[in-house]
Amino acid sequence: MATATDQVVGFGLVAFSLVLFVYYTIWIIILPFIDSDHGIHQYFLPREYAVIIPVVAGLLLLLFIGECYLCSSNWRFLN
Amino acid sequence: MTKLGQWLWGLALLGSAWAALALGPLGPRVPPPCRQVLLPLPVYLLVAFGCYSLATVGYRLATFNDCEEAAAELQEHIGAARADLRRRGLQF
């Protein structure tokens, strides 16, 4: 058995990615087929954000990874 | 053809199919709701793949079992190696 912390973190990641996937799927794929006066649209941002937010998040992730790589103390040895 | 070549070829095919439908001359002929779904489709697939990766990592982390016998055996090996090296004169 994995430690309790590992299990909490692991299943937390699973739950988080499931929620994210369901929300994003409804946002992108299901909402266009629902009439614009239905109440469900109030829970979702305008559709432009469905593209902008992942792109910005992806860029931030790449920047973060690059910064960790460039600023690591072993860089001179790895270079 | 290498695996990388196959992946790039598949991506190029799907990408050109998407571009032809979403950005190209066939655009206005697709019904409007389908068009609204089609345009963000690459971003959606990327996000879906990211969610799947995150879920897989989380699940494997949560279900990874300790191998107690292997750990005990390893400690035994370490102890034996330490004793052997000490006998041969290496200072710890």
Average pLDDT of the residues in A44-61: 91
| Residue A73: per-residue pLDDT | 78
The total number of structural domains that make up chain B: 1
Q: Which backbone phi and psi does A14 adopt, to 5 degrees?
A: -60, -45
Q: How many interface pairs between A and B have CB atoms less than 8 angstroms apart?
A: 79
- Substitution target in A5, A7, A9, A13 with the highest count of B β-carbons within 10 Å is A13
Residue B16 in any domain: the answer is yes
Cβ neighbours of residue A41 closer than 8 Å, sequence gap 6 or more: A31, A34
In this complex, do A58 and B46 lie within 8 Å of one another by their Cβ atoms?
A: yes
Which residues does chain B have with pLDDT short of 70? 26-28, 30
Query: pTM for the whole thing?
Result: 0.76
Residue B82 in any domain: the answer is no
| Residue B28: per-residue pLDDT | 67
Nearest CA in chain A to B55: A14
Nearest CA in chain A to B38: A29
Report the C-alpha gap between A21 and A14 in whole angstroms: 10
- Substitution target in A28, A35, A45, A48 with the highest count of B β-carbons within 10 Å is A28
Residue B78 in any domain: the answer is no
Residue B85 in any domain: the answer is no
Three-class DSSP category at B55: helix
- More confident: B1 or A15: A15
Residue A60 structure tokens: 């931030």
Residue B22 in any domain: the answer is yes
Residue B90 in any domain: the answer is no
Domain with B21, as residue range(s), is 3-66
Residue B79 in any domain: the answer is no
Residue B21 in any domain: the answer is yes
Nearest CA in chain A to B68: A1
Question: A34-51, pLDDT tens digit by residue?
Answer: 888 888 888 888 888 889
ipTM of the complex: 0.80
Residue A77 structure tokens: 């040895």
